[in-house]
Amino acid sequence: MRAAVVSQYREPLTLEDRPIPTPGPGQVLVRLEACGLCHTDIHAIDGDWPVQPGLPFVPGHEGVGIVERLGDGVTTREVGQRVALPWLGYACGECRYCIDGRENLCEAQHNTGYSVDGGYAEYAIAEARFAVPVPDGVSPLDAAPLTCAGVTTYAAVKAARVVPGERVAVFGIGGLGHLAVQYARLVGAQVVAVDVTEEKLELAVELGADHAVNAAEVDPVQAIRHLGGVDVAIVLAVAPTVFDQAFQSLNRGGRLVLVSLPADGTLTIPVFDTVLKGISVIGSIVGTRQDLVEVFALHAAGRTRVVAARRDIADVNEAVEEVLAGQVPARLVFVYDSGLPVESPADAGAAARE
């Protein structure tokens, strides 16, 4: 099978021909149809975070494909079933976090494309219990971004306890942000989209944002305060200045929801304002299997739209450069032998210039 492999941090991935793996007890073998490119993959490739993935490894935690083989003891999945392989590749099921419904906080968790090989390959092994079924009506191209970008922003909106009529600012409109706008709208919020790229802001408005703020042209804090401030600020961008901007945009009783993980991020907030104004600071890390089930159900019902462009895994390094250069309005998805047409980076650039 073809696989894109990280052999050294901060070096180009190499395409390798590897044997198709065999599922162990409780596992399934999945033939990949698609896998999204998440910025977390780039952090993994670069070894940015304190706990680095072991080398060599195969990135990718937005994998979607067909179950081809069952390991011993698997009774909850079937050969031929379409499943998603999310970031949460395993949790113990026995700790306090797993028991009370917060399996995404399990300290024994395994992470797809980080601590175990992921979806940048034609085949992958997954724990059967954590291979989430993809319902009819959700294509592989859409399911891939929903598997991380979707569930992460959906869980962030839930963590903020947004209620109808509140105003929500989404800082960073891209693979995650274009979905966050839609989930905030679905719970009845007014949405303020904040980004530095006009094309992404136009997409946010198209998807339902009530206001768009170009932080490259105006002071986003002043612009948001002019609108009346916000009750919730969801930070999806990684620029260090964004975190302070989001905090300063909040009204009394506001909630600051941190999702992005910058390589060198330190949060500094004024204690006096936090206490006096009753501000809550919330960290939100991906979501649970049930969250992903709900994300898929919303999409199958036609309530959300995924914006994604297709790439071949052979173009993985070029795709990473596209993301780093800010040339991707939303998401890139690697497609495998699934009948989906593939765009090259050159084709996409030409289309964008037309």
Domain definitions of the chain by residue range: 2-133+307-353, 150-283
| pLDDT attached to residue 293 | 99
Residue 195 dihedral angles phi and psi, to the nearest 5°:
-160, 175
Pick the CATH number of 150-283 from 3.40.50.300, 3.30.830.10, 3.40.50.720, 2.70.70.10: 3.40.50.720
- Average the pLDDT over each of 147-151, 229-233, 237-241, 345-349 and give the range with the smallest value: 345-349
Question: What is the three-class DSSP state of 108?
Answer: coil
Architecture of domain 2-133+307-353: Alpha-Beta Complex (3.90)
| pLDDT attached to residue 262 | 84
Whether 2-133+307-353 and 150-283 share one fold: the answer is no
Q: By the 8 A CB rule, do 268 and 275 touch?
A: no
Residue-wise pLDDT for 285-321, tens only, equals 999 999 999 999 999 999 999 999 999 999 999 999 9
Q: Which residue has the tokens 């797993």?
A: 98
Question: In whole angstroms, how far apart are CA 146 and each of 50, 139, 142?
Answer: 26, 11, 7
| pLDDT attached to residue 340 | 55
Question: What is the three-class DSSP state of 102?
Answer: coil
Scanning the chain, the segments in alpha helix (DSSP H) are 39-46, 96-99, 140-145, 151-159, 177-186, 198-206, 220-226, 240-248, 271-276, 289-300, 316-324, 345-353
Residue-wise pLDDT for 49-106, tens only, equals 999 999 999 999 999 999 999 999 999 999 999 999 999 999 999 999 999 999 999 9
| pLDDT attached to residue 264 | 75
Say how many Å lie between the first and final Cα of the chain, rounded: 37
- Taking the C-alpha atoms of residue 179 and residue 303, their distance in angstroms, rounded to an integer, is 11
Q: By the 8 A CB rule, do 154 and 287 touch?
A: yes
| pLDDT attached to residue 263 | 75
Q: 339 pLDDT band (50/70/90 cuts)?
A: low
- Taking the C-alpha atoms of residue 255 and residue 250, their distance in angstroms, rounded to an integer, is 7
| pLDDT attached to residue 352 | 36
| pLDDT attached to residue 192 | 99
| pLDDT attached to residue 266 | 84
